[in-house]
Amino acid sequence: MVSKVNAATGQVSDPDDVRNVVLIGNAGSGKTSLFEQILKTRLTGYRGEKDDAERAAQLYLASFVTGDVFVNLLDAPGHPDFVGDLRAGIRAADAAVFVISAADGVDASAQTLWQECAAANLPRVIALTKLDVGHADFDSSVAECQAAFGEGVVPTHVPVMSAPGVLSGNIGLLSLLEHDYSDGKVVERAVKADDSHVEAYRGPLIEGLIQEAEDDSLMDRYLGGEELDTEYLLDDLMKAVASANLYPVVPVSSATGVGVEELIRLIEHGFPTPSLHPNPVATTPDGKPFGDVLSNADGPLVAQVIRTTTDPFAGRLSMVRIFSGTLKNDDVLHVSGHRSRFAGKADTDHPDHDNEERIGLMSGAVGTDLKARNKAIAGEIVMVPKLTTAETSDTLSDKAHPAVVANWKLPDPLLPLAIRAATRNDEDKLAAALARLALEDANVRLDRTGGDQLVLWTTGQAHADLLVARLNDRYGVKVVQEDLKIPLRETFIAKTAALGRHVKQSGGHGQYAVCNIEVEPLPRGAGFEFVDKVVGGAVPRQFIPSVEKGVRSQLDKGVLAGFPMVDVRVTLTDGKSHSVDSSDMAFQMAGSLAMKEAASVKTVALLEPIDLVTITVGEEYLGATMTDVSGRRGQVLGSDSENHKAIIRALVPASELSRYAIDLRGIAHGTGSFSREFHAYELLPSNLVEGYVKKA
């Protein structure tokens, strides 16, 4: 049979010839080592890629041909800081190899990853690694997976241990063939069904497949002792896997490659084609129904940018998954990005946009290299260069039929990192480097608090460290980390009066202005009021706006600790002027001096921002989380329970949340998440005010 896949270019002629597969697992599970072993099995001369921080933090694509199938294999990062790339990989794929370490078991992080796959209804095969490490045990690992992931977890192969801690092969429970890897190549031999290990798992597997089958007579035949046709059962297995109803368990070794051939067979024959896995729903740019997005090469083009990278020399490169239609070089496409519609709020870093662009010369992955392509059809993943307006999660479509596909849920960057350029030379390059950084990483947000500090909002410490390293290594910009400045405010808490006197005489025209003011607090959020109660022309009318300007200028600078002042009424009651020496600038200075004179620790207080925080943790961590919130001067508003998760709502000072993205993971063992939004400014406790005043 002649393959329909062009192995040299990766070009396919039918979406059913493609398998898009993502490897998912915790950091340390052996996921990336397994990824490398799979490639070594199918790519002649492949020696492996360098494993570095960049490689581990991003979605990585390679491909291979097996039989008549072209497999796009994606390695998704396992660290929770990079969940955005994990979700991008889930969107690009039609099925997943879920890697569990038998030595480490199913922890909370693994369960969170499983839930990510379940939310996308992604078919999964469980690759059970590290059976040859420590006290790992196949039976207990399977039981743990079943307890965590449900009864749909069923072994299709059992391990063969040639010695304690030595995995030498496996036995297929349906084929009753042993696959022996001990001599460096796979040797098959028949085994008996009454083998104790086989017998323990074969019956439940067959019963599970019978329940998935549409033939009601199968169970009666099986219980009656009839040996069911293996090919028939294999067909049912593949259907059950493709529909995400059963999750086969295959014992593998990431180090030696044992079990990799059996895993690849499941990918080839059991994982769904692009036409069998549902595509995401699309709308028109104005939100109207678009119609079904079918994996058909002849349909209207609908594709999505999965990942964006930039290179100082090559420019921007977009990884694109095509859901429908055909993409050709030099096509002019409609580019749509509407993050605000799906996030429910405006995204100032990535505003909504609709543009048209002509694409450049695309390429596709062949092994780990990129090869030029003339076109790509539905189901394929290709790399498109120099899309100047398209960002990660944007939709590419026909000009005549523009579409928008919902983006996957992008994580909120909640760990702030305050930075500044290390040198003047770095300062000149920093703005351009940060723009590229934000472009290629959809999970970073740039912010200037108070206008004098640059803050990178990141998803965690690993993400923050990666961004700093990327600025230095990729863009040649060194930065220095600073303490985060909390945007406090000042306000008056008592009514007071003060006099501002600016009198200078130094030959020629002097400077003369005197103003009397009263200052009183206003309700929170009321802002600033200026009241003129001058009578008798004590302050000439033309200089009253000058006094207000001076007052406002001092309010912006602060009067106690250098923070802007809010919620205050200033009343000009009296003053003095000179017919020659009074001026606009003199009365501005007098107004400013009056505000300083009115300020003291008895009349002025500091306000701190309070955030409304919504925290989600496992129910078993509810008590510890609420105790921690109280320790952060937080006020718990209430809690609810949903799907074995506790949801806590609280008001917490922003200054207590700067490291919360890290701390919550420790409290909830990696299962916690939270969101925050500004709520209000409230008085800073008096015992904390002194530190800010001294610093100022």
409 backbone dihedrals φ, ψ, rounded to 5°: -70, 115
Residues of the chain with CATH 3.40.50.300: 15-270
pLDDT at 122: 96
Mean pLDDT of 445-472: 88
CATH of 15-270, one of 3.40.190.10, 3.40.50.300, 3.90.45.10, 3.30.230.70: 3.40.50.300
Mean pLDDT of 264-293: 93
277 confidence band (pLDDT: 50, 70, 90): very high
Mean pLDDT of 570-577: 96
2 confidence band (pLDDT: 50, 70, 90): very low
pLDDT above 80: residue 194: no
pLDDT at 3: 52
Residues of the chain with CATH 3.30.70.870: 416-482
Reported residue count of the chain is 696
pLDDT above 90: residue 267: yes
pLDDT at 308: 93
Judge whether 534 and 573 are in contact, CB under 8 Å: yes
pLDDT at 449: 63
48 confidence band (pLDDT: 50, 70, 90): confident
CATH of 416-482, one of 2.40.10.10, 3.90.1520.10, 3.30.70.870, 3.90.700.10: 3.30.70.870
pLDDT at 50: 74
List, edge to edge, every strand of the sheet that includes 187-190: 157-163, 166-172, 177-180, 187-190
pLDDT at 644: 82
Residues of the chain with CATH 3.30.70.240: 606-695
CATH architecture of 282-405: Beta Barrel (2.40)
Question: Between the ranges 5-9, 393-397, 617-621, where is the mean pLDDT highest?
Answer: 393-397
Judge whether 233 and 110 are in contact, CB under 8 Å: no
Instruction: Answer whether CATH 3.30.230.10 is correct for domain 489-600.
Output: yes
Judge whether 395 and 408 are in contact, CB under 8 Å: no
Is 149 buried (19+), middle (13-18) or exposed (0-12) by CB count in 10 A? buried
Mean pLDDT of 599-625: 94
Instruction: Answer whether CATH 3.30.70.240 is correct for domain 606-695.
Output: yes
1 confidence band (pLDDT: 50, 70, 90): very low
Mean pLDDT of 492-516: 90
- Tell me what the pLDDT averaged over the chain comes to: 91
192 confidence band (pLDDT: 50, 70, 90): confident
DSSP conformation letters of 109-121: HHHHHHHHHHHTT
pLDDT at 508: 66
pLDDT at 251: 97
Q: Please, what is the Cα angle at 492 between 488 and 495, to 5 degrees?
A: 175
pLDDT at 450: 58
Q: Residue 655: enclosing H or E segment and its boundaries? A: none
- Kindly report the three-state secondary structure assignment for every residue of 138-174: HHHHHHHHHHHHCCCEEECEEEEEEECCEEEEEEECC
Q: Residue 123: enclosing H or E segment and its boundaries? A: none
pLDDT above 70: residue 577: yes
pLDDT at 507: 65
Residues of the chain with CATH 3.30.230.10: 489-600
Mean pLDDT of 475-493: 94
pLDDT above 90: residue 212: no
Encoding tokens for residue 4? 């329909």
pTM here is: 0.89
**Among candidates 218, 234, 277, 256, which has minimal Cα distance to 18?**
277
Encoding tokens for residue 648? 């806590």
pLDDT above 80: residue 49: no
Residues of the chain with CATH 2.40.30.10: 282-405
- Kindly report the three-state secondary structure assignment for every residue of 265-326: HHHHHHCCCCCCCCCCCEECCCCCECCCCCCCCCCCCEEEEEEEEEECCCEEEEEEEEEECE
Mean pLDDT of 536-547: 94
**Least confident piece of the model among 4-13, 482-491, 596-605, 606-615:** 4-13
Q: Chain-centre distance of CA 10, in angstroms?
A: 30
The rounded distance, in Å, linking the Cα atoms of 34 and 44 is: 17
pLDDT at 346: 79
pLDDT above 70: residue 451: no
**Among candidates 259, 401, 258, 578, which has minimal Cα distance to 248?**
259
pLDDT at 390: 93
Q: Chain-centre distance of CA 391, in angstroms?
A: 15
pLDDT above 60: residue 503: yes
Percent of the chain with pLDDT over 70: 97
**Least confident piece of the model among 208-212, 499-503, 648-652:** 208-212
pLDDT at 686: 87
pLDDT above 60: residue 247: yes
